[in-house]
Copies of this chain bind each other. A is one copy, B any other.
Amino acid sequence: MPLPDSVLVHAPATLSNLGCGFDVFGLALAAPYDTIRLRRTGAPGVRIRHLDAYNLPTDPARNVAGVALLALLAAVPEAVGFEMEITKGIKPGSGVGSSAASAAGAVVAANALLGNRFSQLELVEFAMAGEALASGARHADNVAPAIFGGFTVVRALEPATDIVALPAPTLWVAVVHPQIEIKTKDARQVLPAAVPLGLAVRQWANVAGLVAGFLTADYGLISRSLDDYIVEPARAPLIPGLAEARRRALAAGALGGGISGSGPSIFMLNRDEPTAHAVAAALGSVFAELGIEFNLYVGTVAPEGARVVAE
């Protein structure tokens, strides 16, 4: 079967941290997603067009998807290049893995055009080059679920990248994106340099509980294990309304949640769709009262990561 000359890829939004699992956990969402059209060309290099209004860089060395593609191309011996059209369905800076989705989508598309010669783990490595451009740090907590789908654990980045891809039980996710800006770098600067041992133990007890809850579909355990004792308290002052949003979400039936990635989005996990919609409304009500514009997303966990939807 000849390789396609062009593919269309959907690349999912992702939640990183997922409560207690700072820098480690990730979850792929069925919506929103970025759409990437990639064409193989004989001319080496990467050309980028944006089909949205976000005015992102078209210089591949300054574009997260471009940088990811360049990292992939550096591992390809033959002379090949790409033309990429990006339609961002995930608002940049929202904290649901916008840059990771574009980077993941680009390398999944390129891999399809090159006969799928790279493993998913190799694609994570290429996409991390894009993340390094976006946030100043090479991290995989969003690109791992954007590539593998489902629930992912970034067990290690050194000495080798070690991603554990796990299935997630049926969950409905409600996300509110208040229109305030938090830069990832700023969100990193408020983090404590060190944490009391007792608090670290409570945190990794929750980490253990959340993994067990996901793998045994124990919703009560998931609900009890989500809380983040370390990172969220440090970042909470960056997000007005966070405490009240959590309170109303739990009252509306959410299992639990927290800040998505470095924010400002807030996610809540829920057992079913009606609860997720009620929780989304509860989240939105807080920011409506605060006079802060917001977007809401409700959807399931995506069992797959970025994938070819058409040639």
Contact = CB atoms under 8 A, between A and B. Distances in A.
Interface of A: 20-25, 153-156, 162, 164, 166, 191-197, 200-212, 215-216, 221, 224-225, 230
Contact of A197 (B154, B162, B194, B208): B194
Contacts of A25: 208
Contacts of A208: 21, 24-25, 153, 155, 164, 207-208, 210-211
A191 to B, nearest CB: 6
B156 A224 contact: yes
B202 A200 contact: no
Contacts of A156: 202, 205, 224
Contacts of A154: 205
Contacts of A215: 211-212, 215-216
Contacts of A224: 155-156, 162
Contacts of A191: 197
A195 B200 contact: yes
A151 to B, nearest CB: 9
Contact of A212 (B153, B200, B206): B153
A258 to B, nearest CB: 15
Given A212-B153, A215-B212, A224-B156, A22 B201 contact: yes
A74 B201 CA distance: 31
A124 to B, nearest CB: 15
Nearest to A191: B197
B230 A197 contact: yes
A162 to B, nearest CB: 6
A158 to B, nearest CB: 9
A192 B196 CA distance: 9
A21 B202 CA distance: 11
* Closest 9 pairs between A and B when the two form their complex, measured CB to CB: A204-B204, A155-B209, A211-B211, A194-B194, A204-B207, A200-B200, A215-B215, A153-B208, A24-B205
A220 to B, nearest CB: 10
Contact of A155 (B22, B153, B205, B216): B205
A201 B195 CA distance: 11
A209 B165 CA distance: 10
A289 B215 CA distance: 44
A116 to B, nearest CB: 24
Contacts of A23: 201, 205
A112 to B, nearest CB: 28
Contacts of A21: 204, 208
Nearest to A156: B205
Nearest to A220: B162
A200 B212 CA distance: 19
Given A25-B208, A212-B211, A216-B215, A155 B197 contact: no
A193 B194 CA distance: 10
Q: Which of A155, A162, A195, A224 gathers most chain B CB within 10 Å?
A: A155
